[in-house]
Chains A and B, each alone.
Chain A
Amino acid sequence: MTPAVAVFVYASITALATGLGALPFAFVKEISNRSISYANAIASGLMLGASFGLVVEGSEYGRLQTILGANLGVAFILLTQRLLRRHPIEFGSFQGSGARQMLLVMVVMTVHSISEGVAVGAAFGGGMKLAFVITAAIAVHNIPEGLAISAVLRPKGVSVAACAGWSVVSSLPQPIMAVPAFLFIESFRPALPYGIGFAAGAMVFMVLVELLPEAYDRGSKHATALIVCLTLVAMMLFQQTL
C-alpha cells in the first residue's frame, strides 16, 4: 500500500466513524444535551492532546516554521468560519424551516470537514508512526459530529440508517482532501514543519471555536473542563508510549 493510498484508507475510516454517531439513536429516541456535551469534551481533549503533540514534533523540524504554520492554520479556520457565516443567508429561502435547518447543518459540517481533511493529510506528513493515533483521534472526534448531525435529522423523521449515511457524507471531504494535502507535504519536505503547524493550528482552533462552546452550552463548564484535562493528558501519554 503506497502512503497516498494508506492516507486515503485511514481518512475513509475516520469518515465512516462519523456514521457511528447515528448509532445511539437506534436505542433511544432522544439523546440528552449532557451526553453530547461530554462527547464534545472528550473529542476536544483528545484533539488538543494530539495537536500539541504535533506542535512539539513540528518544532523539532523548525520552531519558527511551526509557529508560522500554526498561525496559518488558525487563520484558515477563521476564514472558513467567516465564509460559512454568510452561507446561511443564501440558504435561508431555499425550503421550509425544518429542511433549511437540516441543509444548514449538512453544509456546515461538510465544509468544515474539508479543513479537517487538510489537517488530517498534513498530519500524516509527520510520518506513519502517528497514523493510528491521528486516525483514532479524528475518528473519535467524528463520532460526536455524526451525533450532532443525527440529533438534528432524526427528530425530523429521518431514519437511523439515513442519519448514519448523511453523517458519513458530511465527512467525505476528509479522504478526498487528505490525499492532496499529504502529497503536497511529502514532496516538499522543507515545508513539513509548516504543514504540521498548520494541522495543529487548524485542529486547536477548531476545537476551541466549534467543539468547546457547544460542550459549555449543552453541559456544565466544570464537567467539560475536567473531561478536557483528563483526555488531554491521556492523549499525550498515549502518544508518548506509542
Chain B
Amino acid sequence: MDPVLLLLACATGAALTAPLGVLPLKSKRATPLRWVGWANALAAGFMLGNGIVLAEAGLAYPPLLGATGGLLGVMFVFWTHVVSGTVDLDLNQLQNTAPDYGYRILLVGTLHSAAEGIAIGVAMLHSVPLGVATAVTFAIHNIPEGTILGAVLIPKGVSRRHAAGLAAATNAGQVFLAVTTYAVLQALPMAIPVGVGFAFGSLVYLAMSELLPQAYHQAGTTAIALVASIAMGIVVLLGGTNL
C-alpha cells in the first residue's frame, strides 16, 4: 500500500478508538481507574520505545536542529495543559469537577491530538513499522483519554452518545496533521530533524509527565514492569534503521 494511504488509514484508526473509552462508563458506577492505569502504562511503554527509536535516528542529524525540535515538542505538550488549565488533573476527582472543566478537557484533548498527529507523520517517514507502531500507541492512548473525557462530561449531563462523538471529534485533527506532516517533511527534508525532535520530545514528555505518574497511582508495580518490557521490545524490534 502507498505509505500516504497507509498513514491515512492508521491515523484514522487511532482517532476512532477514542469513543471506545466511553463504553465502560455507566452513569452511577465509579470510573474504572485501574483499567485507565493499565491502559496508560501500555501507552507509556509504546511512547517511550517509539521515542527512543526516533531519538536514535535523530542523532544522525546536527544536534542543534533536533534539540530545537525536542524542546518545541516538550513545550507544546506542557503548554496544552497550561492553556487549558489542566496541569494538575486529578483522576480521583473526575466526578465533581468545576463546571468549566468539560471545556478544558475537550481543549486539552484536541491540542494533544495535534502533537500525536505530527508524531505519527514523522514516525511513518522513519519507517512503515514505526509509523504503524506509533499509530497503535495513540490508538491505545486515546481509549483512556476517551474514558476520562466521558467521566468528566457524563456527570455534567452529556449523554454517552454525545461524549463518544466528542471523543472522536477531539482526535480528528490528528488525521489531518499526520498526513500534512508527512507531506511537508517530504517536500522540505531540511525540517526532518526538527520534526524528529518534536516527535521525540512530545512522546517521551507525555509518557513521563502524565502517563507514568497516573500508572503508578492507578495500576501499580506490575503495570510498570509492562512499561519497561514494551519500551525495550520496541527498541529491539524497530531500532537501528535510519531516516
Q: Give complex CA distance A138, B56 in Å.
A: 22
Hey, what's the 0/1 contact readout for A78-110 against B, CB within 8 Å counting as 1? 100100000000000000000000000000000
Closest to A241 in B: B59
User: Bound complex: CA of A190 vs CA of B70, how far in Å?
Assistant: 38
Which stretch (A8-16, A26-34, A167-175, A219-227) binds chain B? A219-227
Query: Pick the contact of A233 from B70, B78, B210, B216 — CB < 8 Å?
Result: B70
A232 within 8 Å of B (CB atoms):
yes
B138 close to A (CB within 8 Å): no
Closest chain A CB from B225 CB (angstroms): 5
In the complex, the answer to whether B229 meets A71 with C-beta atoms within 8 Å is: yes
Residue of B nearest to A212 (CB): B212
For A, the interface residue count at a CB cutoff of 8 angstroms equals 38
Interface size counted on chain B using CB atoms at 8 A: 35
* Given A70-B232, A78-B221, CB of A221 within 8 Å of CB of B70: no
User: How many residue pairs bridge A and B at CB < 8 Å?
Assistant: 106
Does the CB pair A56–B240 fall under 8 Å?
A: yes
A73 → B minimal CB distance (Å): 8
The A204-220 residues at the B interface (CB cut-off 8 A) are 204-205, 208-209, 212-213, 216
Chain A's interface: helix, strand, loop or mixed, by majority? Answer: helix
Interface residue? B91 (CB, 8 A): no
| Alpha-carbon separation in the docked complex, A197 to B55 (Å) | 20
Residues of B within 8 A of A66 (CB): 232, 236
- How far in angstroms is the closest Cβ of chain A from B212? 6
Q: Quick check: B232 and A224 within 8 Å, CB to CB?
A: no
Q: Nearest 10 A-B pairs (CB), nearest first?
A: A225-B209, A225-B208, A205-B228, A59-B236, A70-B232, A204-B228, A52-B52, A55-B235, A221-B209, A208-B224
Residues of B whose CB lies within 8 Å of any CB of A are 52, 55-56, 59, 63, 67, 70, 74, 78, 87, 200-201, 204-205, 208-210, 212-213, 216, 221-222, 224-225, 227-229, 231-233, 235-237, 239-240
